[in-house]
Chain A
Amino acid sequence: MPFAVGDVVAERTVHLTRESLVRYAGASGDFNPIHYRDDVAAAVGLPGVLAHGMLTMGIASSVVVAALEPGTEILDYGVRFTKPVVVDPAAGADLHVLATVGAVDDSSTRIDLKVTFDETTVLVKAQLRVAS
């Protein structure tokens, strides 16, 4: 794959709504109520209903995979969850994903993901490595 360090692989803004969270809950089997009930989120001291961390992680890789050649081998993918994504019941939340090439060696390309919500980085050390 002819990638060079610093190349932008993909960039996309994904608009999340409460429906997105319910859909992910059903698809994944994660029915923690902090992802769809305001009263439960408030009771445990959260600023609001949050997107599942795994939804954010999944969206970030979706943006990358859509930009790769079909059949590109993914070697590994990891993230640290740092800040929550609060999804307003009316306005939703915009998640911005920017994927750039962080490193290239003989066997693999490391793609670094910058994922932000409201100008705040929500994933750190978000890296997906593909076979070269």
Chain B
Amino acid sequence: MNQELVGREFPPTPPYLVGREKVREFARAVFADAPMHTDVEAARAAGFADVVAPPTFAMVIQDLTLQQLLGEPDSGIVLARTIHAEQRFAYTRPIVAGDELTGRLSVTGIRMMGGNAMITSAAEITDAEGAHVVTATSVLLVGAEEGAQ
């Protein structure tokens, strides 16, 4: 594992426009049946501008940042040996339809355990005004290379 990844910061991802139908599609996929996820009037009654994305929707933006990490030629991360070990979200506010979101990833830690590496990275997700929406933190477990000495 390339220890020099720690501290590496990636450029912001292109703005992702959160569509109302995408929120509804995602809500259905995660069995999110609170009306504010699909019904605009229910969302407005709860104080939001439009339908509210379920809490784990932030992963869609975070995934764009993780693709940057996996695409680094020197990352040493092989997808076939990688397991999602841990996931956290810290919210300033929920994501709602109409948001234009950008993710900015930094690698915050690498811990070696035997031949395996635990890589922690944090994606800070901000809106069109640059205000913080949510920070999504992942721990990826990259297994030892087969046949490694």
Interface pair A71/B46, CB less than 8 Å apart: yes
Number of A-B contacts defined by CB within 8 Å: 105
Interface pair A66/B33, CB less than 8 Å apart: yes
Chain B interface residue number, banded:
35 or more
The residue on A at minimum CB distance from B93 is: A73
Binding site for B on A (CB under 8 A): 14, 20, 23-24, 26-30, 32, 44, 53-55, 57-59, 61-63, 65-66, 68, 70-71, 73-81, 128
Tell me the complex Cα distance, A71–B141, Å. 35
Q: List 20 A-B contacts (CB under 8 A).
A: A26-B29, A28-B29, A29-B60, A54-B87, A55-B30, A58-B55, A61-B55, A62-B54, A63-B31, A66-B34, A71-B47, A75-B91, A77-B56, A78-B86, A78-B88, A78-B137, A80-B86, A81-B83, A81-B87, A128-B55
Tell me the complex Cα distance, A28–B63, Å. 9
Binding site for A on B (CB under 8 A): 22, 25-36, 42, 45-48, 54-56, 59-60, 63, 79-80, 83-91, 94, 137
